[in-house]
A and B are shown apart, each in its own frame.
Chain A
Protein backbone atom coordinates (compact mmCIF):
# COMPACT_ATOMS: atom_id res chain seq x y z
CA UNK A 1 0.00 0.00 0.00
CA UNK A 2 2.71 2.41 1.05
CA UNK A 3 4.80 1.42 -1.96
CA UNK A 4 1.86 2.07 -4.29
CA UNK A 5 1.49 5.51 -2.74
CA UNK A 6 5.15 6.15 -3.42
CA UNK A 7 4.69 5.06 -7.04
CA UNK A 8 1.67 7.31 -7.42
CA UNK A 9 3.61 10.22 -5.98
CA UNK A 10 6.37 9.56 -8.48
CA UNK A 11 3.88 9.64 -11.36
CA UNK A 12 2.59 12.96 -10.06
CA UNK A 13 6.14 14.23 -9.93
CA UNK A 14 6.76 13.34 -13.53
CA UNK A 15 3.50 15.04 -14.56
CA UNK A 16 4.43 18.30 -12.88
CA UNK A 17 8.10 18.35 -13.74
CA UNK A 18 8.27 16.88 -17.22
CA UNK A 19 5.12 18.07 -19.05
CA UNK A 20 5.47 21.85 -19.20
CA UNK A 21 2.76 22.13 -21.93
CA UNK A 22 0.15 20.95 -19.41
CA UNK A 23 0.70 24.02 -17.26
CA UNK A 24 -2.50 26.09 -17.05
CA UNK A 25 -2.72 29.89 -17.16
CA UNK A 26 -3.61 30.16 -13.48
CA UNK A 27 -0.62 28.01 -12.59
CA UNK A 28 1.58 30.30 -14.67
CA UNK A 29 0.31 33.38 -12.85
CA UNK A 30 0.80 31.73 -9.44
CA UNK A 31 4.32 30.82 -10.55
CA UNK A 32 5.15 34.36 -11.60
CA UNK A 33 3.76 35.72 -8.31
CA UNK A 34 5.95 33.21 -6.49
CA UNK A 35 8.94 34.24 -8.55
CA UNK A 36 8.30 37.93 -7.74
CA UNK A 37 8.00 37.19 -4.03
CA UNK A 38 11.17 35.09 -4.04
CA UNK A 39 13.09 37.77 -5.91
CA UNK A 40 12.00 40.46 -3.48
CA UNK A 41 12.96 38.24 -0.52
CA UNK A 42 16.37 37.63 -2.06
CA UNK A 43 16.85 41.37 -2.64
CA UNK A 44 16.18 42.08 1.05
CA UNK A 45 18.55 39.29 2.01
CA UNK A 46 21.30 40.64 -0.26
CA UNK A 47 20.84 44.12 1.27
CA UNK A 48 21.38 42.48 4.63
CA UNK A 49 24.50 40.66 3.42
CA UNK A 50 25.94 43.90 2.04
CA UNK A 51 25.69 45.22 5.61
CA UNK A 52 27.02 42.29 7.64
CA UNK A 53 29.61 40.72 5.32
CA UNK A 54 33.15 41.04 6.71
CA UNK A 55 34.35 44.46 5.52
CA UNK A 56 37.73 43.23 4.41
CA UNK A 57 36.70 39.99 2.73
CA UNK A 58 40.16 39.40 1.30
CA UNK A 59 41.91 39.53 4.71
CA UNK A 60 39.14 37.48 6.30
CA UNK A 61 39.34 34.67 3.73
CA UNK A 62 43.14 34.72 3.64
CA UNK A 63 43.50 34.55 7.42
CA UNK A 64 40.87 31.84 7.84
CA UNK A 65 43.38 29.00 8.25
CA UNK A 66 42.58 25.96 10.41
CA UNK A 67 44.64 23.09 11.69
CA UNK A 68 43.37 19.87 10.15
CA UNK A 69 41.14 17.85 12.45
CA UNK A 70 39.30 14.57 12.22
Chain B
Protein backbone atom coordinates (compact mmCIF):
# COMPACT_ATOMS: atom_id res chain seq x y z
CA UNK B 1 0.00 0.00 0.00
CA UNK B 2 1.14 3.53 -0.77
CA UNK B 3 2.63 5.27 2.27
CA UNK B 4 1.46 8.70 3.50
CA UNK B 5 2.73 11.38 1.13
CA UNK B 6 4.32 13.78 3.60
CA UNK B 7 5.38 16.70 1.41
CA UNK B 8 6.67 20.26 1.23
CA UNK B 9 8.12 22.85 -1.16
CA UNK B 10 11.31 24.91 -1.08
CA UNK B 11 11.42 28.13 -3.11
CA UNK B 12 14.43 30.21 -4.14
CA UNK B 13 13.25 33.75 -4.86
CA UNK B 14 14.73 36.13 -7.42
CA UNK B 15 16.16 39.24 -5.74
CA UNK B 16 16.67 42.84 -6.90
CA UNK B 17 18.32 45.69 -4.98
CA UNK B 18 17.19 49.22 -5.84
CA UNK B 19 19.15 52.36 -4.97
CA UNK B 20 21.62 50.66 -2.64
CA UNK B 21 25.00 49.04 -3.14
CA UNK B 22 24.39 45.49 -1.89
CA UNK B 23 25.19 42.24 -3.63
CA UNK B 24 22.60 39.46 -3.81
CA UNK B 25 24.09 37.47 -0.91
CA UNK B 26 24.20 40.49 1.40
CA UNK B 27 20.70 41.56 0.35
CA UNK B 28 19.35 38.03 0.99
CA UNK B 29 20.99 38.03 4.43
CA UNK B 30 19.53 41.47 5.15
CA UNK B 31 16.02 40.18 4.38
CA UNK B 32 16.37 37.21 6.72
CA UNK B 33 18.04 39.16 9.51
CA UNK B 34 15.40 41.89 9.25
CA UNK B 35 12.63 39.30 9.51
CA UNK B 36 14.21 37.58 12.51
CA UNK B 37 14.84 40.79 14.43
CA UNK B 38 16.26 40.20 17.92
CA UNK B 39 19.22 37.84 17.75
CA UNK B 40 18.61 35.91 20.97
CA UNK B 41 15.59 34.14 19.46
CA UNK B 42 17.45 32.73 16.45
CA UNK B 43 18.01 29.05 16.00
CA UNK B 44 20.70 28.15 13.48
CA UNK B 45 20.37 25.27 11.06
CA UNK B 46 22.21 22.08 12.03
CA UNK B 47 24.22 20.68 9.09
CA UNK B 48 24.96 17.42 10.93
CA UNK B 49 23.31 15.07 8.40
CA UNK B 50 23.54 17.02 5.12
CA UNK B 51 24.74 14.63 2.41
CA UNK B 52 23.57 16.04 -0.92
CA UNK B 53 26.23 13.94 -2.72
CA UNK B 54 24.44 10.64 -1.99
CA UNK B 55 22.95 9.23 -5.19
CA UNK B 56 19.71 7.21 -5.17
CA UNK B 57 21.13 4.99 -7.93
CA UNK B 58 23.91 3.82 -5.59
CA UNK B 59 27.64 4.27 -6.14
CA UNK B 60 28.37 5.73 -9.57
CA UNK B 61 31.71 6.06 -11.29
CA UNK B 62 32.67 9.07 -13.37
CA UNK B 63 32.78 12.79 -12.85
CA UNK B 64 29.92 13.78 -10.59
CA UNK B 65 30.27 16.92 -8.55
CA UNK B 66 28.14 16.81 -5.43
CA UNK B 67 26.32 20.07 -4.70
CA UNK B 68 28.04 22.38 -2.23
CA UNK B 69 26.68 22.82 1.28
CA UNK B 70 26.97 26.52 2.13
CA UNK B 71 27.37 26.35 5.91
CA UNK B 72 28.65 29.92 6.31
CA UNK B 73 25.52 31.78 5.14
CA UNK B 74 22.47 32.83 7.18
CA UNK B 75 20.42 29.72 7.79
CA UNK B 76 17.69 29.45 10.38
CA UNK B 77 14.61 27.58 11.58
CA UNK B 78 11.28 29.31 12.21
CA UNK B 79 8.57 28.62 14.79
CA UNK B 80 6.25 27.37 12.03
CA UNK B 81 8.76 24.57 11.37
CA UNK B 82 10.09 26.14 8.15
CA UNK B 83 13.71 26.77 7.13
CA UNK B 84 14.64 30.29 5.96
CA UNK B 85 18.11 30.77 4.49
CA UNK B 86 20.49 32.12 1.85
CA UNK B 87 21.12 29.66 -0.94
CA UNK B 88 23.23 30.41 -4.04
CA UNK B 89 22.70 34.19 -3.74
CA UNK B 90 18.92 33.85 -3.33
CA UNK B 91 16.68 34.01 -0.27
CA UNK B 92 15.04 30.60 0.08
CA UNK B 93 12.20 29.39 2.26
CA UNK B 94 11.30 25.72 2.72
CA UNK B 95 7.85 24.96 4.07
CA UNK B 96 7.59 22.61 7.04
CA UNK B 97 6.65 18.99 6.30
CA UNK B 98 2.91 18.76 5.61
CA UNK B 99 0.51 15.81 5.68
CA UNK B 100 -1.93 17.28 3.14
CA UNK B 101 -1.58 19.20 -0.12
CA UNK B 102 -3.85 21.92 1.25
CA UNK B 103 -1.34 22.46 4.06
CA UNK B 104 1.44 22.78 1.46
CA UNK B 105 -0.54 25.57 -0.22
CA UNK B 106 -1.09 27.24 3.17
CA UNK B 107 2.61 27.13 4.11
CA UNK B 108 3.71 28.18 0.62
CA UNK B 109 1.49 31.24 1.04
CA UNK B 110 2.94 31.74 4.53
CA UNK B 111 6.43 31.71 2.97
CA UNK B 112 5.29 34.47 0.58
CA UNK B 113 4.01 36.44 3.56
CA UNK B 114 7.38 35.95 5.30
CA UNK B 115 9.04 37.40 2.16
CA UNK B 116 6.70 40.42 2.21
CA UNK B 117 7.35 41.09 5.89
CA UNK B 118 11.09 40.68 5.24
CA UNK B 119 10.97 43.27 2.43
CA UNK B 120 9.04 45.72 4.65
CA UNK B 121 11.40 45.29 7.60
CA UNK B 122 14.50 45.53 5.39
CA UNK B 123 13.17 48.74 3.81
CA UNK B 124 13.07 50.31 7.28
CA UNK B 125 16.80 49.60 7.67
CA UNK B 126 17.81 51.04 4.28
CA UNK B 127 18.18 54.67 3.12
CA UNK B 128 15.02 56.35 1.79
CA UNK B 129 14.25 55.17 -1.79
CA UNK B 130 16.34 52.01 -1.36
CA UNK B 131 14.66 48.63 -1.27
CA UNK B 132 15.20 44.91 -1.74
CA UNK B 133 12.51 43.27 -3.88
CA UNK B 134 11.88 39.55 -4.32
CA UNK B 135 10.25 37.72 -7.21
CA UNK B 136 8.66 34.28 -7.05
CA UNK B 137 9.82 33.04 -10.45
CA UNK B 138 12.51 30.70 -11.76
CA UNK B 139 14.49 32.51 -14.43
CA UNK B 140 15.92 35.93 -15.25
CA UNK B 141 15.34 35.56 -19.00
CA UNK B 142 19.08 35.53 -19.58
CA UNK B 143 19.85 31.87 -19.03
CA UNK B 144 20.03 31.86 -15.22
CA UNK B 145 17.55 29.70 -13.31
CA UNK B 146 16.75 29.08 -9.65
CA UNK B 147 14.39 26.48 -8.33
CA UNK B 148 11.11 25.71 -6.65
CA UNK B 149 11.58 22.14 -5.42
CA UNK B 150 8.97 19.75 -4.09
CA UNK B 151 9.68 16.90 -1.69
CA UNK B 152 7.63 13.75 -1.21
CA UNK B 153 8.00 10.83 1.19
CA UNK B 154 8.31 7.65 -0.88
CA UNK B 155 8.54 4.00 0.14
CA UNK B 156 12.16 2.84 -0.21
CA UNK B 157 10.91 -0.59 -1.30
CA UNK B 158 9.85 0.82 -4.71
CA UNK B 159 12.59 0.06 -7.27
CA UNK B 160 14.18 3.42 -8.15
CA UNK B 161 14.31 2.63 -11.89
CA UNK B 162 10.53 2.13 -12.02
CA UNK B 163 9.98 5.29 -10.03
CA UNK B 164 12.04 7.27 -12.57
CA UNK B 165 10.44 5.87 -15.72
CA UNK B 166 6.86 6.11 -14.44
CA UNK B 167 6.98 9.56 -12.81
CA UNK B 168 8.77 11.18 -15.79
CA UNK B 169 5.66 11.32 -18.06
CA UNK B 170 3.87 13.27 -15.32
CA UNK B 171 6.81 15.65 -14.80
CA UNK B 172 6.96 16.33 -18.55
CA UNK B 173 3.22 16.88 -19.05
CA UNK B 174 1.89 18.38 -15.78
CA UNK B 175 3.19 21.76 -17.01
CA UNK B 176 -0.08 22.10 -18.99
CA UNK B 177 -1.67 23.16 -15.68
CA UNK B 178 1.39 23.76 -13.42
CA UNK B 179 3.53 25.89 -15.77
CA UNK B 180 4.01 29.49 -14.62
CA UNK B 181 4.48 30.77 -18.20
CA UNK B 182 7.44 32.57 -19.73
CA UNK B 183 7.98 35.20 -22.39
CA UNK B 184 10.91 34.07 -24.57
CA UNK B 185 13.26 31.13 -24.65
CA UNK B 186 16.56 30.25 -22.89
CA UNK B 187 17.35 26.71 -24.00
CA UNK B 188 20.98 26.07 -25.01
CA UNK B 189 21.69 27.38 -28.51
CA UNK B 190 18.49 29.43 -28.73
CA UNK B 191 17.81 33.17 -28.70
CA UNK B 192 14.92 34.59 -26.63
CA UNK B 193 12.82 35.40 -29.70
CA UNK B 194 12.81 31.76 -30.87
CA UNK B 195 9.72 31.17 -28.72
CA UNK B 196 7.32 34.07 -28.07
CA UNK B 197 5.61 32.45 -25.07
CA UNK B 198 5.97 29.06 -23.41
CA UNK B 199 4.20 27.17 -20.63
CA UNK B 200 7.13 26.72 -18.26
CA UNK B 201 9.78 28.85 -16.58
CA UNK B 202 12.06 25.85 -16.10
CA UNK B 203 11.71 23.53 -19.14
CA UNK B 204 14.57 25.29 -21.01
CA UNK B 205 17.04 24.27 -18.31
CA UNK B 206 16.66 20.48 -18.30
CA UNK B 207 19.37 18.57 -20.15
CA UNK B 208 19.31 15.06 -18.62
CA UNK B 209 16.63 12.48 -17.83
CA UNK B 210 18.04 11.50 -14.46
CA UNK B 211 21.00 12.63 -12.31
CA UNK B 212 22.42 14.18 -9.16
CA UNK B 213 23.03 17.75 -10.36
CA UNK B 214 20.74 20.63 -9.41
CA UNK B 215 22.62 23.68 -10.75
CA UNK B 216 24.17 22.46 -14.05
CA UNK B 217 22.92 19.93 -16.61
CA UNK B 218 19.73 19.68 -14.57
CA UNK B 219 17.95 16.30 -14.70
CA UNK B 220 14.15 15.81 -14.94
CA UNK B 221 14.41 13.31 -12.06
CA UNK B 222 16.92 14.27 -9.38
CA UNK B 223 18.65 11.40 -7.61
CA UNK B 224 19.73 13.19 -4.42
CA UNK B 225 19.36 10.50 -1.77
CA UNK B 226 19.09 12.48 1.42
CA UNK B 227 15.92 11.25 3.11
CA UNK B 228 16.07 13.40 6.30
CA UNK B 229 14.28 10.49 8.02
CA UNK B 230 14.74 6.73 8.50
CA UNK B 231 16.75 5.74 5.38
CA UNK B 232 15.92 2.05 5.74
CA UNK B 233 12.20 2.77 5.19
CA UNK B 234 11.91 5.96 3.17
CA UNK B 235 13.12 8.04 0.28
CA UNK B 236 12.57 11.78 -0.05
CA UNK B 237 11.93 12.33 -3.75
CA UNK B 238 13.51 15.74 -4.46
CA UNK B 239 11.61 17.19 -7.42
CA UNK B 240 13.48 20.01 -9.16
CA UNK B 241 11.56 20.18 -12.44
CA UNK B 242 8.64 22.39 -11.36
CA UNK B 243 7.88 26.10 -11.60
CA UNK B 244 7.08 28.37 -8.65
CA UNK B 245 3.36 29.12 -8.87
CA UNK B 246 1.51 32.27 -7.93
CA UNK B 247 -1.87 30.51 -8.30
CA UNK B 248 -2.85 28.58 -5.18
CA UNK B 249 -4.85 26.08 -7.21
CA UNK B 250 -1.85 25.52 -9.51
CA UNK B 251 0.36 24.75 -6.49
CA UNK B 252 -2.40 22.48 -5.19
CA UNK B 253 -2.58 20.62 -8.51
CA UNK B 254 1.19 20.45 -9.00
CA UNK B 255 1.81 18.92 -5.57
CA UNK B 256 -1.47 16.99 -5.27
CA UNK B 257 -1.39 15.22 -8.63
CA UNK B 258 2.28 14.33 -8.10
CA UNK B 259 1.51 12.89 -4.64
CA UNK B 260 -1.24 10.78 -6.25
CA UNK B 261 0.93 9.55 -9.15
CA UNK B 262 3.72 8.64 -6.69
CA UNK B 263 1.18 6.70 -4.60
CA UNK B 264 0.03 4.90 -7.76
CA UNK B 265 3.64 3.97 -8.56
CA UNK B 266 4.02 2.56 -5.04
CA UNK B 267 0.90 0.43 -5.68
CA UNK B 268 2.17 -0.43 -9.20
CA UNK B 269 -0.95 1.08 -10.78
CA UNK B 270 0.57 3.28 -13.52
CA UNK B 271 1.90 0.83 -16.11
CA UNK B 272 4.74 1.26 -18.58
CA UNK B 273 2.82 2.28 -21.72
CA UNK B 274 3.11 6.01 -20.86
CA UNK B 275 6.92 5.89 -20.69
CA UNK B 276 8.41 8.55 -22.97
CA UNK B 277 11.00 7.87 -25.68
CA UNK B 278 12.85 11.20 -25.29
CA UNK B 279 11.85 13.04 -22.10
CA UNK B 280 14.28 15.97 -22.51
CA UNK B 281 13.04 16.71 -26.04
CA UNK B 282 9.44 16.17 -24.90
CA UNK B 283 9.58 18.60 -21.96
CA UNK B 284 10.53 21.43 -24.36
CA UNK B 285 8.04 20.37 -27.04
CA UNK B 286 5.24 20.55 -24.47
CA UNK B 287 6.46 23.83 -23.00
CA UNK B 288 6.82 25.49 -26.40
CA UNK B 289 3.24 24.72 -27.43
CA UNK B 290 0.56 26.89 -25.77
CA UNK B 291 -1.87 25.45 -28.36
CA UNK B 292 -1.54 22.08 -26.53
CA UNK B 293 -1.54 20.16 -29.82
CA UNK B 294 2.11 18.99 -30.05
CA UNK B 295 2.67 15.24 -29.83
CA UNK B 296 5.65 13.61 -28.12
CA UNK B 297 7.29 10.27 -28.93
CA UNK B 298 6.32 7.40 -26.63
CA UNK B 299 8.56 4.47 -25.75
CA UNK B 300 6.15 2.11 -27.59
CA UNK B 301 6.57 4.01 -30.88
CA UNK B 302 3.24 5.88 -30.69
CA UNK B 303 2.81 9.64 -30.28
CA UNK B 304 0.59 11.37 -27.73
CA UNK B 305 -0.22 14.95 -26.74
CA UNK B 306 0.51 16.14 -23.20
CA UNK B 307 -3.26 16.41 -22.67
CA UNK B 308 -3.80 12.79 -23.72
CA UNK B 309 -1.11 11.65 -21.28
CA UNK B 310 -2.72 13.71 -18.51
CA UNK B 311 -6.21 12.27 -19.23
CA UNK B 312 -4.69 8.79 -19.09
CA UNK B 313 -3.03 9.51 -15.75
CA UNK B 314 -6.28 10.93 -14.34
CA UNK B 315 -8.31 7.91 -15.51
CA UNK B 316 -5.77 5.56 -13.94
CA UNK B 317 -5.75 7.67 -10.77
CA UNK B 318 -9.53 7.21 -10.44
CA UNK B 319 -9.20 3.46 -10.96
CA UNK B 320 -6.39 3.38 -8.39
CA UNK B 321 -8.46 5.42 -5.90
CA UNK B 322 -11.37 3.02 -6.36
CA UNK B 323 -9.20 0.02 -5.62
CA UNK B 324 -6.70 1.28 -3.04
CA UNK B 325 -8.44 4.30 -1.48
CA UNK B 326 -7.03 7.79 -0.97
CA UNK B 327 -5.48 7.42 2.48
CA UNK B 328 -1.94 8.15 1.22
CA UNK B 329 -3.05 11.71 0.31
CA UNK B 330 -5.94 11.84 2.84
CA UNK B 331 -9.48 11.20 1.61
CA UNK B 332 -10.79 14.79 1.66
CA UNK B 333 -7.77 16.23 -0.11
CA UNK B 334 -7.57 13.30 -2.53
CA UNK B 335 -11.18 13.76 -3.71
CA UNK B 336 -10.63 17.48 -4.17
CA UNK B 337 -7.38 16.93 -6.11
CA UNK B 338 -9.13 14.52 -8.50
CA UNK B 339 -11.99 16.99 -9.03
CA UNK B 340 -9.68 19.94 -9.66
CA UNK B 341 -7.53 17.79 -11.96
CA UNK B 342 -10.51 16.82 -14.12
CA UNK B 343 -11.84 20.36 -14.08
CA UNK B 344 -8.55 21.93 -15.23
CA UNK B 345 -8.05 19.39 -18.04
CA UNK B 346 -11.64 19.90 -19.20
CA UNK B 347 -11.14 23.67 -19.19
CA UNK B 348 -7.80 23.53 -20.99
CA UNK B 349 -9.31 21.35 -23.68
CA UNK B 350 -12.45 23.47 -24.15
CA UNK B 351 -10.77 26.90 -24.02
CA UNK B 352 -7.60 27.65 -22.03
CA UNK B 353 -8.95 31.13 -21.21
CA UNK B 354 -11.67 29.41 -19.14
CA UNK B 355 -8.95 28.43 -16.61
CA UNK B 356 -7.24 31.85 -16.48
CA UNK B 357 -8.26 31.96 -12.79
CA UNK B 358 -6.30 28.74 -12.04
CA UNK B 359 -3.41 28.22 -14.45
CA UNK B 360 -0.55 30.70 -14.16
CA UNK B 361 0.66 30.45 -17.76
CA UNK B 362 -2.86 31.13 -19.05
CA UNK B 363 -3.32 34.10 -16.68
CA UNK B 364 0.08 35.50 -17.72
CA UNK B 365 -0.47 34.93 -21.43
CA UNK B 366 -3.81 36.70 -21.21
CA UNK B 367 -2.06 39.78 -19.81
CA UNK B 368 0.80 39.60 -22.32
CA UNK B 369 -1.50 39.13 -25.34
CA UNK B 370 -3.98 41.77 -24.16
CA UNK B 371 -1.24 44.33 -23.53
CA UNK B 372 0.43 43.61 -26.90
CA UNK B 373 -2.89 44.02 -28.68
CA UNK B 374 -3.84 47.24 -26.88
CA UNK B 375 -0.52 48.91 -27.65
CA UNK B 376 0.12 47.16 -31.01
CA UNK B 377 3.40 45.65 -29.81
CA UNK B 378 5.47 42.94 -31.53
CA UNK B 379 6.11 39.73 -29.50
CA UNK B 380 9.69 40.87 -28.83
CA UNK B 381 8.75 44.19 -27.16
CA UNK B 382 10.57 44.51 -23.84
CA UNK B 383 7.37 45.55 -22.03
CA UNK B 384 5.99 42.03 -22.52
CA UNK B 385 9.03 40.59 -20.72
CA UNK B 386 8.48 43.19 -17.99
CA UNK B 387 4.92 41.86 -17.53
CA UNK B 388 6.36 38.33 -17.27
CA UNK B 389 8.76 39.39 -14.49
CA UNK B 390 6.32 41.65 -12.68
CA UNK B 391 3.68 38.89 -12.59
CA UNK B 392 5.71 37.36 -9.73
CA UNK B 393 6.74 40.61 -7.96
CA UNK B 394 6.10 40.00 -4.24
CA UNK B 395 5.17 43.66 -3.51
CA UNK B 396 1.37 43.88 -3.28
CA UNK B 397 1.33 47.31 -4.93
CA UNK B 398 3.29 45.97 -7.94
CA UNK B 399 2.31 42.31 -8.27
CA UNK B 400 0.40 41.56 -11.45
CA UNK B 401 -0.64 38.07 -10.36
CA UNK B 402 -2.49 39.56 -7.37
CA UNK B 403 -4.53 41.67 -9.79
CA UNK B 404 -5.66 39.10 -12.34
CA UNK B 405 -8.40 37.27 -10.41
CA UNK B 406 -6.68 34.01 -9.43
CA UNK B 407 -8.94 31.75 -7.36
CA UNK B 408 -7.74 31.13 -3.78
CA UNK B 409 -7.95 28.04 -1.56
CA UNK B 410 -6.80 29.26 1.85
CA UNK B 411 -8.00 32.11 4.11
CA UNK B 412 -5.81 35.14 4.78
CA UNK B 413 -6.31 34.64 8.54
CA UNK B 414 -4.99 31.08 8.30
CA UNK B 415 -1.95 32.30 6.34
CA UNK B 416 -1.22 34.90 9.05
CA UNK B 417 -1.30 32.14 11.70
CA UNK B 418 0.84 29.80 9.55
CA UNK B 419 3.65 32.39 9.49
CA UNK B 420 4.21 31.52 13.17
CA UNK B 421 2.44 28.22 13.91
CA UNK B 422 3.51 24.78 12.61
CA UNK B 423 1.23 22.24 10.94
CA UNK B 424 -0.17 19.83 13.55
CA UNK B 425 0.06 16.53 11.73
CA UNK B 426 3.83 16.01 11.20
CA UNK B 427 7.07 16.28 13.21
CA UNK B 428 7.12 19.97 12.17
CA UNK B 429 4.74 20.47 15.12
CA UNK B 430 7.39 19.24 17.57
CA UNK B 431 10.16 21.30 15.91
CA UNK B 432 8.14 24.51 15.75
CA UNK B 433 6.69 24.19 19.24
CA UNK B 434 10.14 23.51 20.75
CA UNK B 435 11.37 26.71 19.08
CA UNK B 436 8.37 28.66 20.29
CA UNK B 437 8.71 27.40 23.87
CA UNK B 438 12.43 26.75 24.44
CA UNK B 439 14.42 28.73 21.83
CA UNK B 440 17.04 29.85 24.35
CA UNK B 441 17.85 26.21 25.18
CA UNK B 442 18.15 25.04 21.56
CA UNK B 443 21.61 25.09 19.96
CA UNK B 444 20.54 24.09 16.45
CA UNK B 445 17.81 22.21 14.60
CA UNK B 446 17.20 20.58 11.24
CA UNK B 447 14.63 18.35 9.56
CA UNK B 448 15.32 15.22 11.60
CA UNK B 449 16.73 16.38 14.93
CA UNK B 450 16.96 19.16 17.52
CA UNK B 451 20.06 19.80 19.63
CA UNK B 452 19.37 21.10 23.16
CA UNK B 453 21.74 22.72 25.65
CA UNK B 454 20.02 22.19 28.97
CA UNK B 455 22.94 23.53 31.03
CA UNK B 456 24.61 20.18 31.68
CA UNK B 457 27.11 18.35 29.45
CA UNK B 458 26.81 16.88 26.96
CA UNK B 459 24.43 18.58 24.49
CA UNK B 460 21.33 16.46 23.90
CA UNK B 461 20.29 15.60 20.33
CA UNK B 462 16.64 14.55 20.04
CA UNK B 463 16.19 12.56 16.82
CA UNK B 464 12.98 12.82 14.77
CA UNK B 465 13.44 10.06 12.21
CA UNK B 466 9.70 9.48 11.66
CA UNK B 467 7.98 12.37 9.82
CA UNK B 468 4.57 11.35 11.23
CA UNK B 469 5.65 11.36 14.88
CA UNK B 470 6.03 14.52 16.93
CA UNK B 471 2.50 15.54 15.89
CA UNK B 472 0.22 17.67 18.05
CA UNK B 473 -1.81 14.68 19.20
CA UNK B 474 1.36 12.81 20.22
CA UNK B 475 3.22 15.65 21.96
CA UNK B 476 0.80 18.35 23.12
CA UNK B 477 0.43 16.78 26.58
CA UNK B 478 4.25 16.69 26.94
CA UNK B 479 4.54 20.40 26.11
CA UNK B 480 1.70 21.25 28.49
CA UNK B 481 3.34 19.47 31.39
CA UNK B 482 6.94 20.63 30.70
CA UNK B 483 8.28 23.90 32.08
CA UNK B 484 11.78 23.63 30.56
CA UNK B 485 13.64 21.84 27.78
CA UNK B 486 15.25 19.53 30.36
CA UNK B 487 11.78 18.68 31.63
CA UNK B 488 10.56 17.97 28.09
CA UNK B 489 13.54 15.74 27.30
CA UNK B 490 13.03 13.78 30.52
CA UNK B 491 9.36 13.23 29.67
CA UNK B 492 10.16 12.27 26.08
CA UNK B 493 12.23 9.38 27.41
CA UNK B 494 11.44 6.31 25.39
CA UNK B 495 7.76 6.94 24.81
CA UNK B 496 8.21 7.11 21.02
CA UNK B 497 6.59 10.52 20.62
CA UNK B 498 9.34 11.57 18.21
Contact = CB atoms under 8 A, between A and B. Distances in A.
A70 interface: yes
A66 B146 CA distance: 8
A66 B28 CA distance: 12
Contact of B142 (A6, A65, A70): A65
B44 to A, nearest CB: 21
B188 to A, nearest CB: 14
A30 to B, nearest CB: 13
Interface residues of A, number: 33
Interface stretch (B275-283, B365-373, B479-487): B365-373
A10 B311 contact: yes
Contacts of B315: 3, 6-7
B385 interface: yes
Dominant SS among interface residues on chain A? helix
B398 A64 contact: no
Interface stretch (B193-201, B399-407, B413-421, B459-467): B399-407
Contact of B140 (A13, A16, A52, A66): A66
A66 B322 contact: no
A26 B14 CA distance: 48
A5 B335 CA distance: 14
Interface in B354-400: 366-367, 370-371, 374, 382-383, 385-387, 389-390, 397-398, 400
Nearest to B321: A2
Interface in B142-190: 142, 144-147, 149
B24 interface: yes
Contacts of A65: 140, 142, 144
Contacts of B322: 1-3
Contacts of B389: 60-61, 64
Interface string A25-58: 0000000000000100110011011001110011
A42 B373 CA distance: 12
A60 B24 contact: no
Contacts of B400: 49, 52
Q: How large is the interface on B (under 10, 10 to 19, 20 to 34, 35 or more residues)?
A: 35 or more
Among B149, B315, B349, B386, the one with the most A-chain Cβ atoms within 10 Å of its Cβ is B386
A46 B374 contact: yes
A24 interface: no
B318 A3 contact: yes
Contacts of B12: 69-70
B240 A70 contact: yes
Contacts of B297: none
A6 B321 contact: no
Contact of A9 (B145, B346, B350, B387): B346
B214 A45 contact: no
Contacts of A64: 14, 16, 140-141, 389
Given A3-B315, A68-B144, A61 B386 contact: yes
Given A9-B342, A49-B400, A52-B400, A2 B215 contact: no
B383 A53 contact: yes
Interface stretch (B83-91, B249-257, B427-435, B470-478): B83-91
B385 A61 contact: yes
B403 A67 contact: no
A70 B88 contact: yes
Contact of B147 (A9, A38, A61, A70): A70
A58 to B, nearest CB: 5
B89 A67 contact: yes
B88 A41 contact: no
Interface of A: 1-3, 5-7, 9-10, 13, 16-17, 38, 41-42, 45-46, 48-49, 52-54, 57-58, 60-61, 63-70
22 contacts: A2-B318, A6-B314, A6-B342, A7-B315, A9-B342, A42-B366, A45-B403, A45-B405, A49-B400, A52-B397, A52-B398, A53-B387, A57-B382, A61-B141, A61-B385, A66-B90, A66-B140, A67-B88, A67-B89, A68-B144, A68-B215, A69-B144
- The 6 nearest A-B residue pairs measured at CB: A69-B146, A57-B386, A67-B89, A69-B88, A66-B140, A70-B214
Given A13-B350, A70-B215, 15 more contacts: A6-B342, A38-B353, A49-B387, A52-B398, A54-B386, A57-B385, A61-B389, A64-B141, A65-B142, A65-B144, A67-B89, A69-B12, A69-B88, A69-B144, A70-B147
Interface of B: 12, 14-16, 24, 67, 87-90, 139-142, 144-147, 149, 214-215, 240, 311, 314-315, 318-319, 321-322, 342, 346, 349-350, 353, 366-367, 370-371, 374, 382-383, 385-387, 389-390, 397-398, 400, 403-405
